Amino acid sequence: MKWVAVLALSACAMAQMPQFKAVSEYSAYANGQEKVQEDAFNSAQEEQLKDAIQAVSEDVLATARDLREEAKWVHEVETILKGYETKVTRVETDITAQREQLKAMIKKKRQLENLQLQKGLELKLKDANGDLKLLGQATTSIENKEKDFNKNVEAVQATITNLESQLTTLKGAAAAAPAAF
């Protein structure tokens, strides 16, 4: 008794695999002595199978390569991010240090400005004291000149009084003298 069975393979879940038919021939004898099984693929089906295996192998290799590249990229990005985190930390530390330096420089600037202002005020004070001394000397000189002027006024008045009295004396004598002639 001979019979032929045809089997069909189903499609794979990830990719549509080509469907193949396996042809099996069974021979059996009535007395059970010999059983022959012959499986054969026709050559077109064998080529399709080889092509499918090759395509899946290439897909596996490409996917594995993509995964390695993505893992490498993730590692590189993590390295870059760690570098940036380190840089951010350093920059923040530097900013804090520079702020402290800036505060110290501003304080030093104020001290220098105050010193400059103090020196300017000291010069003005020195000039003002010099002017005050000159005014004091001028006042003393004016007072001395006023005293001298007052003495001169008194002397001139005394001289005028003396001259008037002498003139009066002379006029009185002169008035008396014309009577004597």
pLDDT at 4 over 60: no
pTM listed for this prediction: 0.42
pLDDT at 15 over 70: no
Residues 6 or more apart in contact with residue 56 via CB below 8 angstroms? 15
CB 19 within 8 A of CB 9: yes
Q: What is the average pLDDT value for the chain, to the nearest integer?
A: 80
Rounded distance between C-alpha atoms, residue 60 and residue 53, angstroms: 10
Rounded distance between C-alpha atoms, residue 114 and residue 120, angstroms: 10
The pLDDT score that the predictor gives to residue 128 is 95
Q: Give Cα 56 to chain centroid, integer Å.
A: 56
- The DSSP annotation for 137-162 comes to HHHHHHHHHHHHHHHHHHHHHHHHHH
Rounded distance between C-alpha atoms, residue 115 and residue 121, angstroms: 10
pLDDT at 118 over 70: yes
Rounded distance between C-alpha atoms, residue 142 and residue 134, angstroms: 12
Point out the least confidently predicted range of 68-72, 136-140, 174-178. Answer: 174-178
